Amino acid sequence: MRTVIYVVVALVVLVGWWTPAVGQSLASGPSAAARSEFSPPRTPWGDPDIQGTYTNADENGTPMEQPAELAGKRLEDFGEKEMAALRIDRQTRAKAGAARIGGTQEEDTGAGPSHWYEHLAAENAQPWLVFDPPSGKIPALSAAARQRQAARQAGRKGRGPADSWTDPAASRRKVDELQKSGKSAEWIGIDGAGHFMLRRAATWHRLVADAIAGMSRGVAATKMGERR
């Protein structure tokens, strides 16, 4: 029987849509024949192969909300010229901050030299991240949301820090439910590790890799069986 291991896998997929500008001739881009010849890579079982490195390094330094120094501006006000000036300013401030973080030869902070930092040349694509509402600010919680928040906080009183999303109790209960329903499920506990995604990263990565490899082999075998 196949073993199911509950793991958390975060996958960020960036999908770009190409749309010709109004009045632009399709002939100015790749020919229809060239576009039709493209065949995306596939996994052994036929699904799109999207493995690779996905990064938001170029958005490092982009504020979540509209910063005070850009008050009164709209996202539409920032063309390439305005963004180029903003990038230069942010890169300059990032380099100055990195020099302070690393300290000096006499007072080494242990953070390493500034050229180790990967965000010093971040090419921000937008002045801030929140685009709706147009104010660029995260709206305040509604009255109903504040009530729910207060109820959750009240419910946690007296139960200690273990009663949180990092506690494995919920995952353990789900494994028990699967086992009772007749499915093959396995609980892997690491005693004394606490939040072992962070405290035992090497073990966590190995378990996740083994689980995904096992599931991939199972999917591949199922697909092959369906084709026969």
Q: Is the predicted pLDDT of residue 104 greater than 50, yes or no?
A: yes
State the pLDDT at residue 103. Answer: 63
Q: Which of 114, 111, 62 is nearest to 89 (CA)?
A: 62
Q: Which of 168, 175, 171 is nearest to 192 (CA)?
A: 168
Kindly report the number of other CB atoms within 10 A of residue 136's CB atom: 21
Domain definitions of the chain by residue range: 58-156
User: Which pLDDT tens digit goes with each residue over 193-228?
Assistant: 566 666 677 777 888 888 888 777 765 555 445 444
Does residue 43 or residue 96 have the better pLDDT?
43
Does residue 39 or residue 160 have the better pLDDT?
39
Q: What pTM does this model have? A: 0.45
- Residue showing tokens 């996994």: 43
Query: Average pLDDT of the chain?
Result: 75
Q: Cα 131 to the chain's mean position, in Å?
A: 19
